[in-house]
Amino acid sequence: MESLYAEYNRYIYHLCLKLTRNKAEAEDLMQEVWLKVVRYESSIQEVDHLKAWLTTICMNTFRDRYRKNVRRSKHVAYQPEGLDVSLLDLIPSDEAGVSEILEQQDVSVMIRHKISELDSIYRTTILYFYVHQLSLIEIAEAMKVSIGTVKSRLFRGKQRLKDMLLEDARTREYVQIA
């Protein structure tokens, strides 16, 4: 574990700093990442690419923190000034509320509609990969094309879908620009 830390500590810190753009938050995020690595220490022998594994842990931890902060800020930001409630009551539960479920369903319908507007090769590739969760090899075999073709279709299809979602005022707010 010490050698892993020594080898990748600077890399993880710089990745955290790039994600958070704040030194203190980067250090907090990095600490969470290393805690997860220690928690899953028994899995390290099964990992082929340690740097990719660590990057994935870092990215997922950052996303989880971001979502948690957004969810919390939604509930705390819209409270009346003289609220006489414990702060703990303002923290949302892990279960989605009715409005969140309805919003997710609406977004799902809008995205499915946009996917149906894609060219058939992009639509099919995206559906195979994300809905049916086929591997790139399985998609290549099903579509009788090379893996490289599947990768480029997936990339172009996602880019076209993103452009379509950004063009539509109803879906624009749900698109992550990165």
Q: Take residue 7 and report the two structure tokens written for it.
A: 């080898």
Domain count, the chain: 2
Q: What is the CATH number of the domain that holds 20?
A: 1.10.1740.10
Cα angle, residue 14 at apex, residues 9 and 18 outer, rounded to 5°: 150
Q: What is the pLDDT of residue 31?
A: 93
* Residue 40: other Cβ atoms inside 10 A: 13
Q: What is the pLDDT of residue 88?
A: 46
Q: How far apart are CA 163 and CA 3, in angstroms?
A: 44
Its pTM stands at 0.44
Q: How far apart are CA 20 and CA 24, in angstroms?
A: 9
pLDDT tens-digit readout, 133-172: 889 999 999 999 999 999 999 999 999 988 888 888 777 7
Q: What is the CATH number of the domain that holds 139?
A: 1.10.10.10
Q: Is residue 86 part of a domain?
A: no
Tokens 């994300």 correspond to what residue? 130
pLDDT tens-digit readout, 9-46: 999 999 898 888 889 989 999 999 999 988 888 888 88
Q: Is residue 84 part of a domain?
A: no
Do 73 and 105 fall within a single domain? no
Domain range for 30 is 2-79
Q: Take residue 155 and report the two structure tokens written for it.
A: 């990339």
End-to-end CA separation in angstroms for the chain? 33
Q: What is the pLDDT of residue 34?
A: 92
Which value, in Å, is the radius of gyration of the alpha carbons in the chain? 21
pLDDT tens-digit readout, 68-104: 776 655 555 454 454 444 444 444 555 555 666 776 7
Average pLDDT over residues 39-64: 86
Q: What is the pLDDT of residue 176?
A: 63
